[in-house]
């Protein structure tokens, strides 16, 4: 991607990755992993240069 100066990274997220989902019971490790991935996606997007794009999508 760096060599070409172009690229896309698409992370698959879910509703469980939202901060509002943290207060409900169940699937704790899954929720935390999706929340962390969403945060990483946002942080990485601010760091990239050129025509790189990084997205987190919820297919549901």
- Higher per-residue pLDDT: 33 or 2: 33
Strand partners of residue 54: 9
Residue 11 confidence (pLDDT) above 90: yes
Average confidence score pLDDT of the chain = 87
pTM, full prediction? 0.76
Check: CB of residue 40 under 8 Å from CB of residue 46: no
Non-local (6+) Cβ contacts of 54 within 8 A are 8, 9, 10, 11, 41, 44, 45, 48
Task: Count the helix, strand and coil residues of the chain and give each as a percent rounded to the nearest 5.
Answer: 45, 25, 30
Residue 33 confidence (pLDDT) above 80: yes
- 18: tokens are 């939202």
> What average pLDDT score do residues 15-38 get?
85
């Amino acid at each position: 991607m760096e060599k070409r100066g172009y690229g896309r990274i698409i992370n698959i997220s879910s509703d469980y990755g939202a901060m509002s989902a943290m207060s409900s019971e169940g699937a704790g490790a899954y929720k935390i992993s999706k929340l962390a991935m969403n945060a990483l996606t946002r942080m990485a997007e601010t760091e990239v240069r050129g025509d790189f794009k990084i997205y987190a999508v919820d297919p549901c």
